[in-house]
Amino acid sequence: MTDFAMNGMNLDPAAVEAALAERADQLRAMLEDRIKQNLSGGVLATSSGALLNSIETDLEDDGSQIIVTAASSGVPYAAILEYGGKTAAHDIVAVKAGALAFMVGGTQHFAKTVHHPGSTFKAYAYLGEALEGLADEIRSGLKTAVLQALGAR
């Protein structure tokens, strides 16, 4: 790549790309921390910890673009907690035990099958809130990285 000089700043594309990649990785780590804070009581309380432990972030840099991803894998209810929605009515069947045990009105009941009417979930936006909450920091952080790489601190 060619270096260019302009208004007292040196334009070294490789230095700019390296600075952006380094800052993007720092921002990726901040995003992951913010998502995990959201799942630890900030937006949604942790129950089993499965959703919290499923959060993964990644940075891909192929030299022409830098992509940061944040996702949950292996937790089927992750999307409904992020976006909200409704589950369909379904049967819950005892599989690992001879019967299901549950309390109704202070009395314990047992059944082989229970019909669940479905549930409605509000959107918690634990991912979206994290990204939105860091939006200004992401913009300024990337701008600062470019200016520093150009020598215009």
Alpha-carbon distance of 149 to 153, in angstroms, equals 8
> In this prediction, what percent of the chain has a pLDDT beyond 70?
92
67 and 92 share one domain: no
Domain total in the chain? 2
13 and 70 share one domain: yes
Q: Is residue 139 helix, strand or coil?
A: helix
73-126 tens-digit pLDDT? 999 999 999 999 999 999 999 999 999 999 999 999 999 999 999 999 999 999
102 and 128 share one domain: no
100 and 36 share one domain: no
The model carries a pTM of 0.79
98 and 36 share one domain: no
Alpha-carbon distance of 102 to 30, in angstroms, equals 41
Domain range spanning residue 61? 4-84+122-150
Alpha-carbon distance of 95 to 112, in angstroms, equals 9
15 and 70 share one domain: yes
56 and 94 share one domain: no
73 and 50 share one domain: yes
